[in-house]
Amino acid sequence: MNPTPNRWKRYAGWDERPLRLDKFAAEDAANGFAAFTSPADPKPGLGLNSGRVISLDGVLEHEFDMIDLYIARHHIDPSIAPEAMAIPAGTLARMLVDMHVPREQLVRLAHGLTPAKLAETVSQLNALEIAFAYQKMRARKVPGNQAHVTNAKDDPLQLAADAATAVAFGFDEIETTMRVSRNAWSNALACAVGGAVGRWGTLFQCSSEEAEELRIGMAGFSSYAETVSVYGTEKTFIDGDDTPWSKGFLAAAYASRGIKMRCTSGAGSELLMGFHESKSLLYLEARCLCLQRAMGVQGTQNGGIDGAPITSTVPGGVRELMAENLIAVWLDLECASGNDARTTESEIRVGAKIWPYLVGGSDLICSGFGSILKYDNSFNPSLFNAEEMEDYLVLQRDFEADGGLTPVSETVALDLRARAVEALSAVLEELQLATPTADMKQSVVVASGSDDTRSFSPRETAGISEAIRTRGLTVVDVIKALAKRGFVQEAENLLKVVRLRLSGDYLQTAALVRNGKVLSALNNPNDYLGPGSGYRLSAERREEIINIRDVLDQKEVLRSEGQHEKEEAKRIRYQVLKAAELGLDRTEVVIGISPGFGLKIFQTTAGHRLSDVLAEILSAIKQHGMTARIVRFRHTADTSFLGLSAAGISGSGIGIGLQAKGTAIIHQRGRLPHNNLELFSNAPITKLEHYRGMGNNAAIYAKGEMPDPVIVPQRGEAMGSRYHARTAMIYAIETGLIEESAPPQDITVIFSGRKI
Amino acid sequence: MTKTIADYPLAETQPETISGLSGKTLSTITLDALIEGSVDMQDLRIAPEALRSQAEIAQAANRPTLAKNFERAAELVQVPQDLIMATYELLRPGRAKSKDEVMAAAKNLRENFGATSIADYIEEAAEVYQRRGLFKFRY
């Protein structure tokens, strides 16, 4: 005897879903697994004594750790704190979502709020309220986006091509890193050149070891830095080999070299590094963010970042990522809002994660959208990657939301890639760093990822990088090489990015470059105050966003139908005999065809020739010794009414309604329009054998017998999305031919080369 | 005159006042000049004046901490790269073995580079590191 099954098969099915590769953690505040609150979180509080902070969130001054000290001395504004801390968190929370309370008013209050108070306030908002508040509180008006440009081989040719591609798609910043750290200089040079192809103004960073990164910036290759991490507990900070003062010093050092900088912090880093003090993720993050404002950095890369996957395992974790981003912008920091490390294997969770940022905008929606394939992403796969880029473009179109990207045609992309590869090759040759072959170049231009390339070996790349470093090459050498080899526009573009340093305009909060102008929170401030204010899609920008590829219109449908017209003309002719009347033949089945059938439309949506469809139906009816009469109706194109009208004049009382797109029905005189005998609604999967079955069954009904209904098997495919646009357009062509008072016509069809 | 938000972006409102560290103005830093060899990395470096202007603008925009960072940066412009990296290294945990080492670094920057706010900042770090026991050997 078989053992009694102990599983419901539904669960076995769920086990196979990608979601089940995600592992979830139980809430456990003592061990750091708590998103919004933990018993160890302090109550908000601030003690002041003649302008000096003497207690912060329950900790007395003599017990302050480094982070408390830094926040007390550099973040808290004692002239605002008493007023701000006196406002109940619930009131502040309401102010955040109140469109009548301007951003500046809340930013001013934030200067006097402690980490625990900030955390307590945003905790009161649900996810939608956080998203709304974020839309209002983010610093710059126009949203932006950032790309990762890396590859598994650290191949400079591919980096140049992919940088140019990322620029074309509209990314405001591109970030690279290496598989092998010594390749940093080669990566930097390649991305700088590639990023100068097509247009100027894309900022670039090369994420590497702190000191090396600054040197690469000094050589003029990179224009910003963001991997300056801060942490919410003292022990984590020290294990991260820094202190708030060392990082603050680095912030000043970057600015002193005219290089834009933001810090990085995100929930979960303390948990991953083992020193969370049993505090909630949000409270620790509030400390990090106060610290960053205190250090005087213009912005933050925030929202979990490397800790986003662990944060997403706890209840409310994804909402927490949104909440910490809200604190960041409330503190008036530019926010590169995570949506970076891939937090899940579930595409549904991916789509849900991005939605609030896509719709509400962010200074940089992703702090690393993988513009390259997942396996080429040296930071690890992002929430969105090259594989899913078109999904993102369509989401922009669906919601008429500016996600910072613009569709690019394949030919334009190919041209830019070729240009970037040639430009970099010219630089490599001119500076005697390498001589790429035509085959190497061609393989990179058409490559989707590094698996497809035949380019530099790891050893050659390391040699290039080492030579750039030891010879002390700078961006000036690269610009000269580009100009000398005729890449004058690229040379100009690259020089313009380096020239940004002189004024330092792009060091201000949330700065990026659009159309050759620096836009930041100063000259493009977010002025959201409800509908009609804040960022809105312009007509031009909307046009860019909706212009995705392979969009169907009626002209295209008619054109593709036109291709079949000649073919069908060789197979079938439709001859109009006379006005159709009530049939007297009891063996007759009437086939009612639609206005455009065989005149404008020649194939069903499944791709069957209409001549074949008719032939199957006719021959099946004939096989039963019954007769078929074809009648074209011109007063309707509706399947039910075609069928009912056909039945109405059929001698047997049985009729078939057949639309040109292939939707069909078997109907009977006297029935209600939608109470048919059999309906074939899934034209895209209806095969010729089903049309034959339809003729067969219509004949059996006409004899007064009861057949087995024809079943068109389907597996729940989302066919609507594949066919609806075309179907609706075909139907519109049919309805366009309707003449209300036109009588039905008896039609003779003459098949060529086949006998029915 | 103190800069305000209306002065921003400086490169658009007053390009003639912007010059690199070696004194070349923005308009003279062209591709042709670079090709001729009369532009080098030094010309492409930000000058303290521009950072101070940005500090004033940040202050006017109610971003006092950002303004302070720009002021500290202005002081670091003339500090050589190696000294910057050495100072950064010294401020990392466990690098300095005593408060005196850090205080000496601050003194050097104050006296030889006029970097007073940077020196204050480093002295503050020295005091805090002492208090939090950071001047100890880390394996």
Q: Report the length, in residues, of chain A.
A: 756
For residue A251, give the nearest of B59, B118, B123, B120 by alpha carbon.
B118
pLDDT value of residue B102: 98
Kindly state whether A252 is in contact with chain B, defined as any CB-CB distance less than 8 angstroms: yes
What residues of A are in contact with residue B34 (Cβ under 8 Å)?
A: 476, 479-480, 483, 495
In the DSSP assignment, the letter for residue A336 is E
CB contact under 8 A, A250 and B29: no
CB contact under 8 A, B31 and A518: no
What residues of B are in contact with residue A256 (Cβ under 8 Å)?
A: 46, 51, 73-77, 79, 84
What residues of B are in contact with residue A248 (Cβ under 8 Å)?
A: 69, 121
Quote the mean pLDDT of chain A.
Answer: 96
- For residue A256, what is the nearest residue in chain B, using CA coordinates? B73
Greatest extent of chain B over all pairs of C-alpha atoms, in Å = 56
Kindly state whether A526 is in contact with chain B, defined as any CB-CB distance less than 8 angstroms: no
Give the count of Cβ contacts less than 8 A between chain A and B.
205
Q: Show Cβ contacts of residue A336 under 8 Å, excluding neighbours closer than 6 positions.
A: A146, A173, A226, A262, A299, A300, A301, A302, A362, A363, A364, A366, A367
In the DSSP assignment, the letter for residue A166 is H
CB contact under 8 A, B91 and A295: no
The span from the CA of A538 to the CA of A518, in Å, is: 19
Would you tell me which residues 445-504 of chain A have a C-beta closer than 8 angstroms to some C-beta of chain B? 474-476, 479-480, 483-484, 488, 491-492, 495, 498-504
Distance from CA of A426 to the nearest CA of B (A): 16
Kindly state whether A238 is in contact with chain B, defined as any CB-CB distance less than 8 angstroms: yes
**The CA-based dihedral angle spanning residues A168, A387, A373, A212, taken in that order and rounded to the nearest 10 degrees:** 60
Distance from CA of B69 to the nearest CA of A (A): 5
CB A734, CB A564: distance < 8 Å: no
Both tokens assigned to A600: 């404008």
What residues of B are in contact with residue A253 (Cβ under 8 Å)?
A: 73, 76, 84, 88
For residue A524, give the nearest of A247, A143, A17 by alpha carbon.
A143
Residues of chain A with pLDDT under 50: none
CB contact under 8 A, B69 and A297: yes
Query: Parallel, antiparallel, or unpaired for β A517-519 and A512-514?
Result: antiparallel
CB B24, CB B43: distance < 8 Å: yes
CB A193, CB A478: distance < 8 Å: yes
Kindly state whether A104 is in contact with chain B, defined as any CB-CB distance less than 8 angstroms: yes
Q: Show Cβ contacts of residue A607 under 8 Å, excluding neighbours closer than 6 positions.
A: none
CB contact under 8 A, B31 and A66: no
Instruction: Count CB neighbours of A537 within 10 A.
Output: 15
Q: Show Cβ contacts of residue A275 under 8 Å, excluding neighbours closer than 6 positions.
A: A233, A234, A235, A236, A239
Q: Is B27 exposed, middle or buried (0-12, 13-18, 19+ CB in 10 A)?
A: exposed
Closest Cβ–Cβ partner in A297, A498, A504 for B50: A504
Q: Where are the alpha helices (DSSP H) in A262-343?
A: 269-273, 281-295, 308-311, 317-330
- Told to judge if A298 belongs to the known catalytic residues of this protein, a careful annotator would answer no
* pLDDT band per the 50, 70, 90 thresholds, residue B138: low
The span from the CA of A650 to the CA of A669, in Å, is: 8
Both tokens assigned to A602: 């020649």
- For residue A480, what is the nearest residue in chain B, using CA coordinates? B35
CB contact under 8 A, A107 and B62: yes
State the catalytic residue, choosing from A120, A162, A172, A175.
A175
DSSP-assigned states of every residue in A49-107: ETTEEEEETTEEGGG--HHHHHIIIII--TTTHHHHHHS-HHHHHHHHH-TTS-HHHHH
The span from the first CA to the last CA of chain B, in angstroms, equals: 52
Phi, psi of A55 (to 5 degrees): -155, 145
What residues of B are in contact with residue A219 (Cβ under 8 Å)?
A: 41
Closest Cβ–Cβ partner in B29, B88, B91 for A499: B29
Decide: helix, strand or coil at residue A352. Answer: helix
What is the amino acid identity at position A229? S
CB contact under 8 A, B69 and A75: no
- Told to judge if A62 belongs to the known catalytic residues of this protein, a careful annotator would answer no
Kindly state whether A741 is in contact with chain B, defined as any CB-CB distance less than 8 angstroms: no
Please give the average per-residue pLDDT across B63-78, as a whole number: 98
**The CA-based dihedral angle spanning residues A724, A727, A732, A734, taken in that order and rounded to the nearest 10 degrees:** -160
The span from the CA of A9 to the CA of A706, in Å, is: 37
> Is pLDDT at B137 greater than 70 in this prediction?
no
pLDDT value of residue A748: 96
- Told to judge if A340 belongs to the known catalytic residues of this protein, a careful annotator would answer yes
**ipTM for this model:** 0.98
Kindly state whether A258 is in contact with chain B, defined as any CB-CB distance less than 8 angstroms: yes
Decide: helix, strand or coil at residue A45. Answer: coil
The span from the first CA to the last CA of chain A, in angstroms, equals: 56
- Told to judge if A477 belongs to the known catalytic residues of this protein, a careful annotator would answer no
CB contact under 8 A, A501 and B44: yes
The span from the CA of A72 to the CA of A64, in Å, is: 9
Closest Cβ–Cβ partner in A104, A504, A509 for B51: A504
> Is pLDDT at B139 greater than 90 in this prediction?
no
For residue A344, give the nearest of A29, A17, A14 by alpha carbon.
A17
- Condensed to tens digits (0 to 9), the pLDDT of residues A176-225 reads 999 999 999 999 999 999 999 999 999 999 999 888 999 999 999 999 99
Closest Cβ–Cβ partner in B11, B92, B131 for A242: B92
What residues of B are in contact with residue A234 (Cβ under 8 Å)?
A: 132
Decide: helix, strand or coil at residue A666. Answer: strand
The span from the CA of A201 to the CA of A634, in Å, is: 60
Closest Cβ–Cβ partner in A297, A495, A522 for B8: A522
Closest Cβ–Cβ partner in B41, B61, B76 for A474: B41
The span from the CA of A350 to the CA of A339, in Å, is: 9
Q: Is A105 exposed, middle or buried (0-12, 13-18, 19+ CB in 10 A)?
A: exposed
CB contact under 8 A, A504 and B20: no
A274 in the Ramachandran plot: left (φ > 0), alpha (ψ -120 to 50) or beta?
Answer: left
- For residue B122, what is the nearest residue in chain A, using CA coordinates? A245
Phi, psi of A206 (to 5 degrees): -120, 100
The span from the CA of A579 to the CA of A631, in Å, is: 9
Question: Based on C-alpha coordinates, what's the Rg of chain A?
Answer: 33
Q: Could you tell me the pTM of the whole model?
A: 0.95
- Told to judge if A724 belongs to the known catalytic residues of this protein, a careful annotator would answer no
Phi, psi of A583 (to 5 degrees): -80, 150
CB contact under 8 A, B84 and A256: yes
